[in-house]
Amino acid sequence: MAEGPGRICPVAYRYGARALAAPATLQTETLWVAGGLYGNCEALERLLELYEDEPGAKAIVFNGDFHWFDIAREDFLCVDGAVLAHRATRGNVETELAIPGSGAGCGCGYPEWVADAEVDRSNRIIERLRATAQGAPEALRRLAGLPMFLLAEVGGERVAVVHGDADSLAGWSFSQERLATAQGLVAARAAFRTAGVRIFASSHTCLPVLQVIDAEFAIVNNGAAGMPNFSGTRCGVATRISVRPRPGALYGARLGPLHAEARPIPYDHARWHARFVASWPEGSDAHASYFSRIMNGPHYKLASALRASPSAAARQAA
Ligand SMILES: [Fe+2]
């Protein structure tokens, strides 16, 4: 695999699945998990409206990469204030802002299928965002103190909230690409055994997937709360895990007593578009990497995201 800034996964990002066998620090009936807000203030506003509408005992966790496009100081402070009013864990973006690792670049740990030009642009985006963040030292201090993962109990069932995967802050083992392979599913099963959880809720890889394992366990990767996730769409996605189902999910699965759902976050696209191009006009790095996705969604179909439990034959073949 290629090495260099944006490709490597710093040692400090590694916690290992055994660390996730820790006791839960949060008990609730409904847990929302929103990774990859990417500085989209409009998506943040809409997400919190939808969350506030949720009945019963509830909590929301922003599991990293809530900053990214928000290089305007007022946008950065808006995201910082709203997110840190709730529970949050660090993503690679927040880590590289608050505790930068030498040579890590954006800290994305990009795999081989991401092109070099895109990795280079990400490394320049984090430099630009760092300039904004350095004007908010109190925010940086709070970001540095955030954990890398969180263990919750939802309806008495253990849920691990991570940014990347079971081993690392920027791991790609819970990406839709890796979970489409037999080796990826073998590794996922091992992670469930080690951590002793019913559900892993992740983000980081930018594309959503709900991978059911052996009909009882699941990895729920929300993709991005602040960017379109499917071809031809303009809404973010957040994960909802609850003892109760709720109408309106994009897709979902039942895991024991829990319902895991992908919830659409239909933010105000026109306002977000105006805000994005004000910070990242044509010719800028973020415009080159993300404008097409913001307008048209990625090349990924909604029907690809929900993955059934692999068959016994497939398990034996693995
Ligand atoms: Fe990330």
- The tens place of each residue's pLDDT in the chain, 318 residues long, gives 456 777 777 888 999 999 999 999 999 999 999 999 999 999 999 999 999 999 999 999 999 999 999 999 999 999 999 999 999 999 999 999 998 876 777 777 888 888 899 999 999 999 999 999 999 999 999 999 999 999 999 999 999 999 999 999 999 999 999 999 999 999 999 999 999 999 999 999 999 999 999 999 999 999 999 999 999 999 999 999 999 999 999 999 999 999 999 999 999 999 999 999 999 999 999 999 999 999 999 999 999 999 998 765 455 554
Question: What ranges in 1-151 are assigned the alpha helix state H?
Answer: 41-52, 73-83, 92-98, 116-133, 137-144
**C-alpha 34 – ligand 1 centre gap (Å):** 12
Note the pTM of the prediction, 2 decimals.
0.95
**C-alpha 175 – ligand 1 centre gap (Å):** 11
> Using CA atoms, how far apart are residues 37 and 47, in angstroms rounded to an integer?
10
Q: Amino acid letter at 167?
A: D
**C-alpha 312 – ligand 1 centre gap (Å):** 33
**C-alpha 274 – ligand 1 centre gap (Å):** 24
**C-alpha 249 – ligand 1 centre gap (Å):** 24
> How many helical (H) and strand (E) elements, i.e. helices and strands, does the chain have?
10, 13
The owner of tokens 């709720």 is 246
**C-alpha 270 – ligand 1 centre gap (Å):** 25
